[in-house]
Amino acid sequence: MNFTISTSVLLNNLLISQKALSTKTPAPYLQGIKLEASQNEIVLITSNSDISIKISIKDESLKIESGGEVLIPGKFFVEILRKLEGDSVELSVIDNNILRIIAGESDVTLNLLNVDDYPELEFPINDDPIKIDSKLMKSIIKQTTFATSAIENRPILTGVNIRVEGEKLSAIATDSFRLSQKMITIPKNQDNMNVVIPGRSLDELFKIQELNLDEILIHLNHKSILFEYGNVLFQSRLLEGNFPETSRLIPTEFPVIIKFNKDKLYTAIERASLLSSKEGSSSIVKLNLKSDNVVEITSNSPELGKVTEKVYPLDNAVGMPIKIAFSSKYFMDALKTFNSGEIYVKFTGEIRPFVIEGDDDPGVIQLILPVRTE
């Protein structure tokens, strides 16, 4: 194998492919990048236990003298390419087990892994994929994956449930203490879909969507889901099991509704949480809607002191005074997902789940369970 290509083109694609490199595995071949060179393109393939990535590179800078396939130690290959100077790089194979890398004044050799050890990976493409605007896909990920569970005792909750029914696509995540849901309208597709995708896989997909392409295609089969984004095929395993039915958990009637400036509410909760008696997701603050339409955000720590923040609703609150306690982290995490400058916090009772919505975020619901403090 022997070819020359723009250093930046190869490096940019390697940085995407390395997201599926396995770092903790007894199988050294999964730490490798499989590189295939043919007549007019090179292909990069990487895989770990959760995701696999296949990238096809066709570029005017690519000049292939001879083809072939090799398995390159991924971490070292990427770091070498990062440090190289020169606009182009030449890769060639010596004695079937050594990769020679020449760029600028650098001449590097790297011992190859055994390409025959690498598993045959399939990236099945459907004839009729689901098509979604790329920016919309990024918003789905941003507004849901944060609510997945970080605890592995219920693996199904570490994923995002994606459902397609007719022209409706819903994405739902919950760790049993909070829930995030986003619903969008999509073009009618032939098949409905109900799958659970690991949250970590979607977070990695979010990171590769920096090419600013218009569209992402979704291909589904019974064991995996594949996202086609330009020259990148990003495949994730699916989580097995039944995702909990969450529709009944979301209230539909709200006796108390308060409209806030999002940033002012966020800042008040953030300051109040500084003196909470607990930290992290257990940092508890209280919201008190008083009869004079003023909202107080408070926290109290016997060892540290007490904070009281006054927040003034943008409109007269709907409903009676209410007191409710909640995790400050969960509330702030939810607020971060909204594009809306003004949000509505909707309550059903002092010990019942409450909902956050925004006018500029149609289809988005953030639900949080309150905390009993007495």
pLDDT digits (tens, 9 = 90+) for 154-194: 999 999 999 998 889 999 999 999 999 999 988 876 678 89
Cross-sheet strand order for the sheet of 295-301: 305-311, 295-301, 284-289, 322-327
- Among the candidates 117, 142, 161, a domain finishes at 117
Q: Taking residues 294-308, what's their average pLDDT?
A: 89
Instruction: Give the H or E element holding residue 363.
Output: none
Q: Are 202 and 160 part of one and the same domain?
A: yes
Question: What is the predicted pLDDT for the residue at 167?
Answer: 87
Question: What is the predicted pLDDT for the residue at 374?
Answer: 65
Q: Put residue 319 in one of left, alpha, beta given phi > 0 → left and psi -120 to 50 → alpha.
A: left
Q: Are 254 and 362 part of one and the same domain?
A: yes
- Decide: 30 and 22 in contact? Cβ < 8 Å: yes
Q: Are 76 and 167 part of one and the same domain?
A: no
Averaged pLDDT score across all residues of the chain: 92
Domain count, the chain: 3
Q: Are 334 and 261 part of one and the same domain?
A: yes
Q: Are 52 and 143 part of one and the same domain?
A: no
Cα dist from 295 to 37, 257, 273, 315, 320, whole Å: 64, 12, 16, 12, 12
Query: Is 374 contained in some domain?
Result: no
- Among the candidates 209, 237, 265, a domain finishes at 237
Question: What is the predicted pLDDT for the residue at 281?
Answer: 57
Q: Taking residues 31-38, what's their average pLDDT?
A: 96
Instruction: Please report how many Cα atoms fall inside a 13 Å half-sphere around the Cα of residue 94, on the Cβ side.
Output: 11
Q: Are 28 and 104 part of one and the same domain?
A: yes
Query: Is 243 contained in some domain?
Result: no
210: domain CATH number is 3.10.150.10
pLDDT at 202 over 90: yes
Q: Are 213 and 299 part of one and the same domain?
A: no
pLDDT tens readout for residues 235-277 = 999 999 999 999 889 999 999 999 999 999 999 999 999 887 5
pLDDT tens readout for residues 130-151 = 889 999 999 999 999 999 999 8
Q: Are 113 and 134 part of one and the same domain?
A: no
Question: What is the predicted pLDDT for the residue at 369?
Answer: 96
294: domain CATH number is 3.70.10.10
- Among the candidates 117, 146, 178, a domain finishes at 117
Domain interval for residue 191 = 130-237
Residue 225 three-state SS: strand
Q: Are 149 and 183 part of one and the same domain?
A: yes
Q: Among residues 210, 194, 189, 201, which one has the least CA distance to residue 234?
A: 201
Give residue 223's pLDDT band: very low, low, confident or very high (50, 70, 90). Answer: confident
Q: Are 221 and 331 part of one and the same domain?
A: no
